Amino acid sequence: MEQHKILIADDDVAISRMVRRFLEQAGYQVTSASDGAEAWAAVQREKPDLVVLDVAMPRMTGWEVLSHIRDHDELRGLPVLMLTALDTDADVTRGWVLGADFYLPKPFRGEELVEVVRRLLLGERSEEATGGESA
């Protein structure tokens, strides 16, 4: 079975480590970036199978990284999970407008994260993609 490569982009080291632990325990290969510019460079260099993006990061926001991904033909189909504390209706809507595949607000449960990642890698999108709340 092919091991999927996932890029985590979050400037909070504790969150990044926790997400890495959950995903590695589920059998995924994980790399990380600590800011948006590093994340964008890693997407281009490493060609991950899925990106987990925080929004509020230095040097480039998650919104900007997502926009760059969706603006490049060869990356347009890359699944992107927004994992962020920004969970207002306006934030969630902005995520959908920019092309996020799923919007999971912090705090989150590890099992929920792993299940969302699994579904996104299978090409599934959810009608209720905000941790159980409707967008």
Predicted confidence pLDDT, tens digits, the chain (135 residues): 569 999 999 999 999 999 999 999 999 999 999 999 999 999 999 999 999 999 999 999 999 999 999 999 999 999 999 999 988 899 999 999 999 999 999 999 999 999 999 999 998 654 444 444 433
What pairs with residue 5 in β-bridges?
29
Q: What is the pLDDT of residue 125?
A: 53
Q: What is the pLDDT of residue 2?
A: 67
What pairs with residue 14 in β-bridges?
none
Contacts of 34 (CB under 8 A, 6+ apart): 9, 10, 11, 13, 16, 57
Q: What is the pLDDT of residue 132?
A: 43
Domains and CATH numbers, the chain: 5-121 (3.40.50.2300)
Q: What is the pLDDT of residue 124?
A: 62
Contacts of 111 (CB under 8 A, 6+ apart): none
Please tell me the pTM assigned to this model.
0.88
Ordered DSSP codes for 60-105: S-HHHHHHHHHHSTTTTT--EEEEES--SHHHHHHHHHHT-SEEEE
Q: Which of 71, 70, 16 is nearest to 38 (CA)?
A: 16
Q: What is the pLDDT of residue 86?
A: 87
